[in-house]
Amino acid sequence: MATEIGLTKQQIIENVSGYRQRVEAGARTDALEKMFERDKDELRSLGVPIETIGDPADPHDLREARYRIPQAEYDLPTDIEFTPAELAVLRLAGSVWSTESVSMDARSGVRKIRALGIDGDEPIIGFAPRIAARDAAFPALQEGIERSRVVVFEYLKPGEKSPTRRRVRPLAQVEYEARWHLFGIDVDADAERTFLLSRIVSDVKVTAQTFDVALREGAAARALAGLEDVAAAQRALLEVTPGTEAALRLGRRATPRAQGIAVGYVDRDIFADELASYGPEVRVVDPEDLRGAVIQRLRAIAERHAAALDGADREES
């Protein structure tokens, strides 16, 4: 950061603390090279921009390349100022996302806030909210969104026994009904699609194929509007025991009815899993296929418990 023209790899190894000590201790050249590459990746993962300046005559020749951290990209612009209230909100926002799911943009924002002498991880209230993405596919999909790269994964649609391979231009990830969804353009179908992350049954591969970043504009709003339309068209009539966990959780997104509550849902099987988890606290009145799906799950649970108890009884006897 102290040089406009950057430093060569050799200059960094000879002068930067940490490298210099290893050189003096007789570290091998290949070990220093690996350390250098690891450190570059680590800095970039933390949101620190590293610029590689090659030979203008041959940009691909990196033997004498210089490396620098552009001051303008590292610091906040000089014409931006924040009030104490705005800084408090930014600090809170920086603490919300869990480490494993924070995006590169958010990480970069927190770093710039810290450059002002503010700790982005320090909570400003007694209990700061946290957002965690439990779906394993989330980080790779977010990388694809931020880098505007096509992603590939195996997806299991409701009612199908085997997954299909999907190539998608990822545009946004949105949370709806406490579940994460990917909104993007299915390359093979050439149409917008929404995918439930919990139905991605393989690792997500971020390919080298790029797409126009302008496609991401307004994508999150379109995704949420589409999910709301689906939920509005699919509504379940439920009878729920008052004062229970089911009443608390389902009541947040329910509409009162003369007989119970009406709750919209997107994916029947996922919703049936949720309803079955409440046990006797909830009963599905309508639709019939959802009621059947919940009953099927409850029977399967009862059968597994019966089998476990039977096995325990045999061991005792």
* Domain span at 48: 7-74
Determine the pLDDT at residue 61: 65
Last-in-domain residue among 74, 92, 117: 74
- The answer to whether residue 317 sits within a structural domain is no
Indicate whether 122 and 176 sit together in one domain: no
- The answer to whether residue 79 sits within a structural domain is no
- The answer to whether residue 225 sits within a structural domain is no
Indicate whether 13 and 68 sit together in one domain: yes
Residues 131-160 have a mean pLDDT of: 87
Is the preceding omega at residue 170 within 30 degrees of 0, hence cis?
no
CATH code at position 147: 2.30.30
Residues 277-293 have a mean pLDDT of: 94
Determine the pLDDT at residue 26: 87
- The answer to whether residue 2 sits within a structural domain is no
Domains held by the chain: number: 4
Indicate whether 115 and 143 sit together in one domain: no
- The answer to whether residue 223 sits within a structural domain is no
Indicate whether 70 and 89 sit together in one domain: no
Residues 191-205 have a mean pLDDT of: 94
Report the distance separating Cα 205 and Cα 159, nearest Å. 25
Determine the pLDDT at residue 241: 95
Indicate whether 210 and 189 sit together in one domain: yes
Determine the pLDDT at residue 123: 47
Last-in-domain residue among 215, 245, 269: 215
Which helix (H) or strand (E) segment holds residue 198: the answer is none
- Round the average pLDDT of the chain to a whole number and report it: 83
How many residues appear in the chain?
A: 317
Cα pseudo-dihedral 125, 127, 130, 134, rounded to 10: 170
- The answer to whether residue 22 sits within a structural domain is yes
Residues 264-271 have a mean pLDDT of: 90
Contacts of 47 (CB under 8 A, 6+ apart): 104, 107, 108, 110, 111
Residues 119-143 have a mean pLDDT of: 65
pLDDT: is 178 or 61 the higher one? 178
Indicate whether 162 and 201 sit together in one domain: yes
Last-in-domain residue among 186, 215, 244: 215
- The answer to whether residue 254 sits within a structural domain is yes
Determine the pLDDT at residue 125: 45
| pTM of this structure | 0.60
271 touches 294 (CB < 8 A): no
What DSSP letter does each residue of 114-125 carry, written as one string?
HTTT--TTS-SS
Question: Is residue 102 pLDDT above 80, yes or no?
Answer: no
Indicate whether 44 and 12 sit together in one domain: yes
- The answer to whether residue 227 sits within a structural domain is no
